[in-house]
Amino acid sequence: MSETRLFQQVFSVDAPRAGQPRLRLMADDGSDTFRSVHCGAMAFAEGCYAGIRNPNSHEDGPPELPEHQALEQLAAFSVPARWVDTAALVS
């Protein structure tokens, strides 16, 4: 499964299904905030992979980054990592 599809599944606001658990960053209270938080997490995680991880992992990717840019990219990845780490798993 691609990372895009994975993020779409785990951060989906739909109810979990067999074999498709969800990560909940807050309780599902049916609010716009609940939807916004999960859609934002999905989009941010996808953006980190599409804009940072994928280009940097290709064989002929960009040259080595200056330290401050590498730290910025690590900081960006720390956000979805923290979300995954603190989320409730709902099966």
Residue 22 CB neighbour total at 10 angstroms: 20
Predicted structure pTM score: 0.89
Domain hosting residue 22, numbered range = 3-90
Q: Give the pLDDT confidence of 18-68 residue by residue, as tens digits.
A: 999 999 999 999 999 999 999 999 999 999 999 999 888 877 767 888 999
Q: Give the pLDDT confidence of 58-80 residue by residue, as tens digits.
A: 777 678 889 999 999 999 999 99
- Could you give the number of structural domains in the chain? 1
Residue 73's Cβ-count burial label (10 Å; 0-12, 13-18, 19+) is: middle
* Alpha carbon separation from 4 to 1, 25, 28, 31, 52 (Å, rounded): 8, 18, 22, 24, 13
Q: pLDDT value at position 55? A: 85
Q: pLDDT value at position 12? A: 97
